[in-house]
């Protein structure tokens, strides 16, 4: 696809001729329809084409590279362009991706039936907007397409509602009236289109680029949405749509309930009005599409691990930071689903991990059951592979948009459900041979129970449809033989018209005794009987003469006329009848949509569980123990993404221990170096610090979605929130400076993290001067330790932070083991650092930054100069104001990879604390220092 196509194209300008001025009825009709769809491109169906006129034609022809012509001559002149109706699937997705909204206008009657000067009736049947996609070709198989509405009442919480029109999944929730809370929820749901009050959309359009406003202002609200979702479309909802009373009446009626309490939704909560605005808009865009929305699910934030926008980005949960691709993200790595529905659900799980231990264990038990019963996983997954996207099929069926092929897909999918259900039940019934197993089968039992194969519907489809139905009645057969006697007869007539005529001819030959009598056809009379002059006198009374030729005469009979009528119209009638039968079938299927949806959701869940089981088996994951305390212990844990990506170097597993919060106040003073609740991780560049801390967050998250883990064993204390930040990442789109972003995000953590949270900070504080950075980093760790009391991992190059462990009992130091090889053998060969990728207790005093700079290809003179400056800085002798260029390097200086032995002695001395060193250790250090001193030679 062309790069430029992904860019948002400006909406067509509004200047447009008015319907009253149009000179032809067709343009009058077009302009009338267009008046109601000013913001959309109008695809105006004319016969086999969708035509566009005036500025729509100009914009679209440019965007799609179509030929722009002029309507005329002799007619009213106006620019126009068109696309053949069968090519809509080619052009429409491109327009939508470019950010256009498209209104589809169809002919509502058969042009053949329109008499005289009247023109065909036309109407807009749907509007396609980025958040209301239902067409397979416009949708991403494994991603939901959310439309979300935000209600900001006069006071109190904000109400949110979101829906995937293609599947009917409909959620609501209330969030605190804070920009951050809204932003986080938007980032979690990731809607393609967001509805906010009209005034807010206008405010943003009128004052682009103005400084951030409070969320209580219209502009402020729109700004938050823009900031959280720069690529999403903004839609305007009228104020009345956010009226609580109207909303309640509407939703109760739509869902057929007396109170929303049955969905665990408080009638007066702000999310109700958001749901109303949302459904009204969706219904306007997609008339008749929302029949399958039969329930609301209240999203309960307190039941899920809160993952804010920055964390999801930093941990690359569903897309990579660079390239924003699914491949390489956590989801891309652990999604082995066999159905699109399962893939979508897994994604949802990933962005909303659970806090409830029982719910997590139920998923674990299900995984274990699948793994524990021989062949169960394979057979379940084989069964799943045969099921189409039932959820979206149900959506299309209920809106009456299902094609005959959709019905066949439905039939084939339903046919596999009984076996699938059987397999799932079988797997859940047998006790799994795992010692840690909880209840047998866990979620599997209830999922299998919900997996209704809809036997009557399945049988009806099986019986009614031919094996491979045509796309439409005019393209071939859809309804099977034996369903409708009239259809069978009509088809029989159309199929063997010749044999009917032959039978008729034989009968007439016998009746008249004219052996040469024959039935023929011409376009003037249609079918006729021809009798040679020889047999003229044998012609029966009931023959009506039509023509006399030299040698013969031609006749008609009422029976022949009837037969002709039957033959010629049989096909047409068969088509009509088939269309009626098809409609009946669709209605029947549509009425089963709610049960279909609930089965579809059970299949999705089964698939998500089976996917986790498959990954666990393929990669040797183990079942973690999830516990109510707030400690975490992982033995030989691996980064799930790096471990799975086989890049040659095997991934080195690492242990992790974060101790539980001790009861009572934490005394000041050093704690146990082997333990610790907050780990300060220092060590060389490239050694694996960032990997280790992210891996910890990912493993905890995976455990809380119910997944098994890449580790030898793991015990995870449930987290309420996971925060991950990487310092110094700018967010120019948000108009914030590098350090501002860092501090805003850090502030958010300090305000929201609790005792039960896990905080992962990667080099936070590095976006400013060293002293400022160290001070802030130090204060942050102290605050986390003293006040938040959460679990935390802090990777940093501020080696000063190693000192925190001396006074903060729950802080412990970790470093990444490296081995320094002696200097290279030949002259000019530098020594080397080998990264062992092992996290060990202790702190580092140096980063080997210059070594990594050299590895990265920084020119040698630059590295050499940097070494000199570093040495100067460390000895306090570097004077920046009067720094001279480096003197020509001696071969020795060029060889030195690291500081001189003297510097290394100094560094070693700085690295340990005599008060915390045993006499034996002191002796070891002393001999180490002596060995270093021996290597010192005069320069």
Burial of 264 (0-12, 13-18, 19+ CB in 10 A): exposed
Residue 599 or 813: the one with the smaller Cβ distance to ligand ATP is 813
Residue 690 or 744: the one with the smaller Cβ distance to Mg ion is 690
Q: Hey, what are 34's tokens?
A: 């267009």
- The minimum distance between CB 653 and Mg ion, in angstroms, equals 19
The interface with ligand ATP within residues 584-643 (CB under 6 A) comprises 642
Q: Which option in ligand ATP, Mg ion, none does residue 677 bind, with CB closer than 5 to 8 A by kind?
A: none
- The minimum distance between CB 846 and Mg ion, in angstroms, equals 15
- In sequence order, the β-bridge partners of residue 622 are 709
Q: Which option in Mg ion, ligand ATP, none does residue 376 bind, with CB closer than 5 to 8 A by kind?
A: none
Q: Which option in Mg ion, ligand ATP, none does residue 796 bind, with CB closer than 5 to 8 A by kind?
A: none
688 binds ligand ATP (CB under 6 A): yes
Pair 82, 49: CB distance under 8 Å: yes
Q: Which option in ligand ATP, Mg ion, none does residue 652 bind, with CB closer than 5 to 8 A by kind?
A: ligand ATP
- In sequence order, the β-bridge partners of residue 840 are 815
Pair 620, 710: CB distance under 8 Å: yes
696 binds ligand ATP (CB under 6 A): no
Q: Which option in ligand ATP, Mg ion, none does residue 649 bind, with CB closer than 5 to 8 A by kind?
A: ligand ATP
- The minimum distance between CB 829 and ligand ATP, in angstroms, equals 24
Rule CB under 6 A: choose which of 215, 370, 501, 687 binds ligand ATP.
687
CA distance 823 to 654: 29
Query: DSSP readout, 910-934?
Result: HH--GGG--HHHHHHHHHHHHHHHH
Residue 597 or 652: the one with the smaller Cβ distance to ligand ATP is 652
Rule CB under 6 A: choose which of 808, 837, 846, 904 binds ligand ATP.
837
Kindly indicate which of the ranges 44-52, 95-103, 645-653, 899-907 contains the residues binding ligand ATP, using the contact rule CB under 6 A: 645-653
- The minimum distance between CB 694 and ligand ATP, in angstroms, equals 8
CA distance 122 to 331: 45
Q: Which of 286, 278, 1, 274 is nearest to 160 (CA)?
A: 274
- The minimum distance between CB 889 and ligand ATP, in angstroms, equals 26
Q: Which option in Mg ion, ligand ATP, none does residue 395 bind, with CB closer than 5 to 8 A by kind?
A: none
Question: In degrees, to the nearest 5, what angle opens at C-alpha 851 toward C-alphas 901 and 648?
Answer: 130
Q: Which of 695, 721, 685, 649 is nearest to 316 (CA)?
A: 695
Q: Which option in ligand ATP, Mg ion, none does residue 640 bind, with CB closer than 5 to 8 A by kind?
A: none
The interface with ligand ATP within residues 652-671 (CB under 6 A) comprises 652, 654
505 binds Mg ion (CB under 5 A): no
814 binds ligand ATP (CB under 6 A): no
Strands (E) in 770-849, as ranges, are 791-795, 811-821, 832-841
- In sequence order, the β-bridge partners of residue 479 are 465
Pair 870, 846: CB distance under 8 Å: no
CA distance 275 to 150: 9
CA distance 506 to 497: 14
Q: Hey, what are 878's tokens?
A: 């570097």
Question: In degrees, to the nearest 5, what angle opens at C-alpha 218 toward C-alphas 214 and 219?
Answer: 70
CA distance 371 to 358: 20
Q: Which option in ligand ATP, Mg ion, none does residue 129 bind, with CB closer than 5 to 8 A by kind?
A: none
Site map for ligand ATP, 759-798, x if CB under 6 A?
------------------------------------x---
Q: Hey, what are 217's tokens?
A: 């202002």
Kindly indicate which of the ranges 358-366, 553-561, 668-676, 679-687 contains the residues binding ligand ATP, using the contact rule CB under 6 A: 679-687
Q: Hey, what are 618's tokens?
A: 């393929």
646 binds ligand ATP (CB under 6 A): no
Q: Which option in Mg ion, ligand ATP, none does residue 837 bind, with CB closer than 5 to 8 A by kind?
A: ligand ATP
Q: Which option in ligand ATP, Mg ion, none does residue 687 bind, with CB closer than 5 to 8 A by kind?
A: ligand ATP
The interface with Mg ion within residues 662-691 (CB under 5 A) comprises 690
CA distance 814 to 655: 11
Residue 649 or 887: the one with the smaller Cβ distance to ligand ATP is 649
Rule CB under 6 A: choose which of 157, 685, 704, 757 binds ligand ATP.
685
- In sequence order, the β-bridge partners of residue 465 are 479
Q: Hey, what are 339's tokens?
A: 């159905």
CA distance 788 to 292: 45
Kindly indicate which of the ranges 38-46, 577-585, 603-611, 683-691 contains the residues binding ligand ATP, using the contact rule CB under 6 A: 683-691
2 binds ligand ATP (CB under 6 A): no
690 binds ligand ATP (CB under 6 A): yes
Closest chain position to ligand ATP (CB): 688
Q: In what order do the strands lie in the sheet with 678-682?
A: 306-307, 721-726, 758-762, 791-795, 678-682, 811-821, 832-841
Q: Hey, what are 664's tokens?
A: 């009572």
- In sequence order, the β-bridge partners of residue 790 are none
Rule CB under 6 A: choose which of 50, 651, 778, 848 binds ligand ATP.
651
CA distance 50 to 95: 14
Element of type H or E holding 602: helix 593-619
- The minimum distance between CB 639 and ligand ATP, in angstroms, equals 7
691 binds ligand ATP (CB under 6 A): yes
Residues binding ligand ATP: what is the number (CB under 6 A)? 15
- The minimum distance between CB 201 and ligand ATP, in angstroms, equals 42
Q: Hey, what are 383's tokens?
A: 């069964």
Q: Which of 836, 849, 835 is nearest to 897 (CA)?
A: 849
Query: DSSP readout, 531-543?
Result: EEGGGGGG--TT-
- The minimum distance between CB 903 and ligand ATP, in angstroms, equals 21
- The minimum distance between CB 687 and Mg ion, in angstroms, equals 8
At 413, give phi and psi (nearest 5°).
-70, -45
Pairing of β 146-151 and β 122-128? unpaired
Pair 681, 794: CB distance under 8 Å: yes
- The minimum distance between CB 844 and Mg ion, in angstroms, equals 13
- The minimum distance between CB 779 and ligand ATP, in angstroms, equals 22
Residue 690 or 713: the one with the smaller Cβ distance to Mg ion is 690
Kindly indicate which of the ranges 53-61, 518-526, 590-598, 684-692 contains the residues binding ligand ATP, using the contact rule CB under 6 A: 684-692
Residue 232 or 817: the one with the smaller Cβ distance to ligand ATP is 817
CA distance 661 to 728: 31
- The minimum distance between CB 647 and Mg ion, in angstroms, equals 17
Kindly indicate which of the ranges 172-180, 313-321, 420-428, 647-655 contains the residues binding ligand ATP, using the contact rule CB under 6 A: 647-655
849 binds Mg ion (CB under 5 A): no
For residue 473, what are the CA distances in angstroms to 87, 457, 575? 20, 22, 5
Kindly indicate which of the ranges 281-289, 688-696, 822-830, 880-888 contains the residues binding ligand ATP, using the contact rule CB under 6 A: 688-696
- The minimum distance between CB 726 and Mg ion, in angstroms, equals 8
Instruction: Find where tokens 């009050």 sit.
Output: 197
Query: Counting runs of H as helices and runs of E as strands, what totals does the chain give?
Result: 30, 27
Q: Which residues bind Mg ion (CB under 5 A)?
A: 690
Q: Which residues bind ligand ATP (CB under 6 A)?
A: 642, 649, 651-652, 654, 683, 685-691, 795, 837
């Amino acid at each position: 696809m062309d790069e430029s196509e992904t860019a948002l194209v400006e909406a067509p300008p509004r200047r447009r001729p008015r319907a009253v001025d149009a000179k032809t009825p067709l343009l009058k009709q077009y302009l009338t329809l267009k008046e109601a769809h000013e913001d959309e491109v109008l695809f105006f169906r004319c016969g086999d084409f969708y035509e566009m006129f005036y500025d729509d034609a100009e914009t679209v022809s440019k965007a799609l590279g179509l030929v722009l012509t002029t309507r005329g001559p002799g007619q009213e002149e106006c620019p126009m362009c068109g696309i053949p109706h069968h090519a809509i699937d080619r052009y429409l997705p491109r327009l939508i991706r470019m950010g256009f909204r498209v209104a589809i206008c169809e002919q509502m009657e058969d042009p053949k039936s329109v008499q005289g000067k009247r023109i065909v009736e036309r109407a807009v049947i749907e509007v396609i907007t980025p958040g209301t996609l239902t067409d397979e070709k416009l949708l991403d198989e494994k991603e939901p397409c959310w439309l979300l509405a935000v209600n900001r009442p006069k006071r109190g919480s904000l109400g949110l509602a979101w829906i995937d029109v293609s599947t009917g999944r409909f959620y609501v929730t209330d969030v605190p009236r804070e920009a951050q809370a809204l932003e986080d929820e938007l980032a979690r749901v990731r809607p393609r289109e967001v509805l906010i009050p009209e005034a807010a959309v206008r405010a943003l359009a009128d004052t682009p680029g103005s400084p951030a406003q409070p969320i209580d202002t219209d502009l402020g609200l729109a700004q938050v949405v823009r900031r959280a979702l720069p690529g999403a479309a903004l839609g305007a909802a009228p104020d009345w749509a956010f009226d609580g009373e109207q909303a309640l009446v509407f939703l109760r009626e739509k869902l057929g309930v007396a109170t929303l309490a049955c969905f665990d939704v408080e009638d007066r909560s702000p999310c109700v009005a958001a749901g109303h605005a949302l459904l009204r808009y969706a219904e306007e865009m997609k008339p008749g599409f929302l029949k399958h929305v039969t329930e609301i699910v209240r999203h309960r934030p307190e039941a899920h691990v809160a993952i804010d926008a920055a964390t999801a980005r930093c941990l690359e949960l569903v897309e990579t930071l660079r390239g924003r691709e699914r491949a390489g993200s956590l989801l891309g790595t652990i999604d082995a689903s066999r159905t699109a529905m399962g893939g979508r659900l897994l994604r949802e799980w990933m962005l909303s991990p659970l806090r409830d231990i029982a719910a997590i264990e139920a998923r674990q038990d299900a995984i274990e059951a699948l793994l524990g019963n021989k062949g169960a996983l394979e057979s379940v997954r084989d069964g799943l592979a045969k099921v189409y996207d039932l959820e979206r099929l149900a959506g299309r069926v209920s809106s009456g948009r299902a094609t005959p092929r959709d019905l066949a897909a439905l039939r084939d999918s339903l046919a596999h459900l009984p076996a699938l259900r059987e397999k799932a039940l079988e797997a859940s019934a047998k006790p799994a041979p795992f010692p840690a197993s909880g209840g047998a089968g866990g979620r599997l039992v209830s999922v299998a129970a919900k997996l209704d194969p809809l036997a009557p519907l399945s049988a009806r489809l099986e019986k009614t449809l031919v094996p491979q139905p045509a796309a439409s009645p005019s393209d071939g057969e859809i309804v099977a033989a034996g369903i409708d006697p009239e259809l069978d007869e009509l088809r029989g007539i159309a199929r063997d018209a010749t044999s009917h005529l032959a039978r008729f001819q034989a009968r007439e030959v016998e009746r008249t005794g004219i052996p040469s009598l024959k039935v023929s056809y011409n376009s003037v009379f249609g079918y006729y009987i021809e009798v040679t002059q020889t047999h003229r006198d044998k012609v029966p009374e009931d023959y009506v003469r039509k023509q006399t030729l030299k040698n013969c005469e031609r006749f008609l009979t009422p029976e022949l006329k009837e037969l002709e009528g039957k033959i010629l119209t049989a096909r047409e009638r068969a088509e009509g009848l088939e269309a009626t039968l098809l409609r009946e079938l669709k209605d029947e299927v549509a009425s089963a949509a709610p049960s279909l949806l609930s089965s579809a959701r059970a299949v999705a869940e089964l698939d998500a569980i089976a996917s986790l089981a498959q990954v666990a088996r393929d990669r040797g994951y183990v079942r973690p123990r999830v516990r109510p305390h707030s400690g975490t212990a992982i033995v030989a844990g691996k980064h799930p993404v790096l471990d799975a990506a086989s890049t040659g170097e095997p991934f080195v597993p690492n242990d992790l221990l974060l101790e539980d919060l001790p009861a009572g106040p934490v005394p000041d003073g050093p704690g146990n170096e082997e333990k610790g609740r907050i780990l300060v991780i220092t060590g060389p560049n490239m050694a694996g610090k960032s990997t280790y801390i992210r891996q910890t967050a990912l493993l905890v998250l995976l455990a809380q979605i119910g997944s098994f883990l890449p580790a030898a064993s793991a015990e995870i204390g449930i987290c309420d929130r996971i925060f991950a930040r990487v310092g110094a990442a700018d967010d120019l789109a948000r108009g914030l400076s590098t350090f501002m972003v860092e501090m805003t995000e850090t502030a958010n953590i300090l305000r929201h993290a609790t005792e039960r949270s896990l905080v992962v900070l990667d080099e936070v504080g590095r976006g400013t001067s060293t002293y400022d950075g160290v001070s802030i980093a130090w204060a942050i760790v102290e605050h986390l330790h003293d006040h938040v009391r959460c679990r935390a991992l802090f990777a940093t190059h501020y080696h000063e932070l190693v000192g925190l462990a001396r006074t903060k009992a729950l802080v412990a130091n970790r470093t990444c083991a490296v081995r320094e090889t002696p200097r290279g053998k030949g002259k000019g060969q530098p020594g080397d650092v080998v990264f062992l990728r092992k996290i060990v207790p202790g702190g580092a005093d140096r980063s080997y930054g210059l070594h990594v700079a050299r590895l990265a290809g920084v020119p040698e003179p630059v590295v050499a100069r940097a070494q000199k400056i570093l040495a100067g800085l460390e000895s306090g002798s570097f004077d920046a104001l009067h720094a001279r260029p480096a003197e020509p390097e001696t071969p020795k200086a060029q060889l030195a990879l690291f500081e001189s032995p003297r510097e290394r002695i100094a560094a070693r001395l700085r690295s340990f604390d005599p008060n915390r060193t045993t006499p034996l250790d002191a002796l070891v250090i002393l001999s180490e220092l002596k060995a270093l001193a021996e290597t010192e030679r005069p320069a």
